Structure 1
């Protein structure tokens, strides 16, 4: 009887961990031809100042 309880507990924990991990499948794979929803970042309005060597 004790072995059955241990086996049932281990099986239940394994099943729960598989469900929570999604069975190793990646999340939200986009369909072929579907455009990404993220908008690309806009370039900065002010360009960076060029770095110059210090004058002697």
Structure 2
């Protein structure tokens, strides 16, 4: 479970139109749609999220 006091932050890959995802980091990394924050979030183990970011940065 994530620390609910950890703030959401906007992805650095956000576009100028404001369409983006927001991320909350903690024991698990949570990801949500910034335009629909009331909808469900996706959760990833921290290591899996780090591997994902590493993969997209390599491309």
- The TM-score normalised by the length of structure 1 is 0.17
More helix by share: 1
Q: Relative CO higher for 1 or 2, CA cutoff 8 Å, sep ≥ 6?
A: 2
Bigger radius of gyration among the two? 1
- The TM-score normalised by the length of structure 2 is 0.17
